[in-house]
Amino acid sequence: MLPDGFTTDAIFQRSEGGTPNAKDAYFSVAGVGIDKYTGAAQEFISGFKSALNGKPVDPYAILGAQAATVLLDAIKNSDGGRGGVIGEVFKTKIDNGLIGSFEINQNGDITGAKGAALLFTIYKGTDHLVTLKTAAPKGNLVDAARKAAAG
């Protein structure tokens, strides 16, 4: 099982720094499988894949696009200064965004998440990533982790 930092189709291509030995490995990533997104997210993925001349879209591309949207909106709604932008980021409330719905709390973490922002996916390697399972953590485990993090 390889962690999310390895979860790109480039892992199978020597020309991209990968290795064909990754075949049959299992990979994890936060979010849903790139092939499972719908709506605006799927439109982004299709457009990005076209811009990549048909190459597979990295599972992190959608997360980066959502983060960019948050930052650009914060800049637009701010006074233009660093503090103003940061303040606007902490006011973020996304409804049906690229990765679902969420807010950003005072710690900079997402909260109230619905959709892909709340899920994780396991892939199996062939000559590309194949989605095996997408799941959400059980509520009691999330609560226990929050309690432990709070001290």
Q: What is the pLDDT of residue 69?
A: 95
Tell me the C-alpha distance between 57 and 34, whole Å. Answer: 7
Q: What is the pLDDT of residue 47?
A: 95
Which residues form the domain of 24? 4-150
Mean pLDDT, consecutive 10-residue stretches, the chain (151 aa), reads 73 78 84 83 93 87 93 96 96 90 88 77 85 83 82 77
Domain count for the chain, please give it. Answer: 1
Q: What is the pLDDT of residue 49?
A: 93
Kindly report the pTM of this predicted structure. Answer: 0.75
- In the 3-class helix/strand/coil scheme, how is the chain assigned residue by residue? CECHHHCCHHHHCHHHCCCHHHCCCEEEEECCCCCCCCHHHHHHHHHHHHHCCCCCCCHHHHHHHHHHHHHHHHHHHCCCCHHHHHHHHCCCEEEEECCEEEEECCCCCEEEEECHHHCEEEEEECCCEEEEEEECCCHHHHHHHHHHHHC
Q: Are 37 and 115 in contact (CB under 8 A)?
A: no
Tell me the C-alpha distance between 39 and 98, whole Å. Answer: 8
